[in-house]
Amino acid sequence: MSDEEFDRAVEDAMARYAATGHVARGMMRGKLRVDPVYRGLLERGIADARTIVDLGCGHGLLFSLILAVLGGVDRPALHGIEIAPSVARTARRALGGEATIVEGDIAEHRIPPCDVVTLLDVYHYLPVPAQDDLLERVRAALPPGGRLFIREADAAAGTGFLAVRIAERMAAIARGESFRGFAYRSAAELNRRLDAAGFTVTATPMSRGTPFSNVLLEARAPACA
pLDDT tens digits for range 31-67: 999 999 999 999 999 999 999 999 999 999 999 999 9
Q: What is the pLDDT of residue 162?
A: 94
* Eight-class DSSP state of 122: -
Q: Which residue has the higher pLDDT, 72 or 38?
A: 38
Show the CA angle centred on residue 193, arms to residues 188 and 197, nearest 5°: 145
Q: Which residue has the higher pLDDT, 1 or 44?
A: 44
pLDDT band at 71 (very low <50, low <70, confident <90, very high): confident
Q: How much is the average pLDDT of 25-32?
A: 90
214: β partners: 153
pLDDT band at 225 (very low <50, low <70, confident <90, very high): low
* CA Rg value for the chain: 17
Q: How high does pLDDT run on average in the chain?
A: 93
> Residues 89-134: pLDDT tens digits?
999 999 998 999 999 999 999 999 999 999 999 999 999 999 999 9
Exposure on the CB side of residue 196, measured as CA atoms within 13 A: 10
Res 178 pLDDT > 90: no
pTM of the model: 0.94
Greatest C-alpha distance within the chain: 48
Q: What is the pLDDT of residue 99?
A: 96
Percent of the chain at pLDDT > 70 equals 99
Q: What is the pLDDT of residue 73?
A: 77
Question: Which strand ranges, in their side-by-side order, compose the sheet holding 77-82?
Answer: 100-103, 77-82, 51-55, 116-120, 147-153, 214-220, 200-205
> Residues 2-20: pLDDT tens digits?
889 999 999 999 999 988 8
Second-level CATH architecture of 3-220: 3-Layer(aba) Sandwich (3.40)
Q: Tell me the domain boundaries of the chain.
A: 3-220
17, 25 Cβ separation under 8 angstroms? yes
| Residue 216: alpha-carbon gap to chain centroid | 10
